[in-house]
């Protein structure tokens, strides 16, 4: 979306709220030329460790090493 400096001055609070809420970008123009861009701030991704980040998220009901009784085609 493009708006003029005059439009931005009149309703800057609404434009800032829109950028935050809808994550869109607004280009601000002066005499028809872009002079600034209003963009949302994206939260930085918190890096999770490669090993152990899912610890505690799985519930095991039986012995996972116990053979299953279901027959598969490759077993025949």
Q: Please write the tens of the pLDDT for every residue from 10-54.
A: 999 999 999 988 888 999 999 999 999 999 887 666 667 778 877
Residue 72 has pLDDT above 70, yes or no: yes
Domain boundaries, the chain: 1-41
Quote the CATH superfamily of domain 1-41. Answer: YefM-like domain (3.40.1620.10)
Number of CB atoms found within 10 A of residue 15's CB: 18
Say what the pTM is. 0.53
Residue 55 has pLDDT above 70, yes or no: yes
Beta strands in the chain (DSSP E): 2-4, 26-30, 33-38
- Would you state the pLDDT for residue 39? 92
Residue 11: in which H helix or E strand, if any? helix 5-22
Return the structure tokens found at 3. Answer: 């708006």
């Amino acid at each position: 979306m493009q708006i003029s400096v005059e439009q931005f001055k009149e309703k800057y609070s609404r434009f800032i709220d829109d950028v935050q809420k809808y994550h869109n970008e607004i280009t601000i123009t002066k005499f028809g030329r872009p002079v600034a861009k209003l963009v949302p701030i994206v939260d930085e991704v918190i890096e999770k460790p490669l090993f152990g980040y899912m610890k505690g998220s799985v519930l095991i009901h039986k012995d996972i090493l116990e053979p299953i009784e279901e027959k598969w085609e490759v077993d025949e």
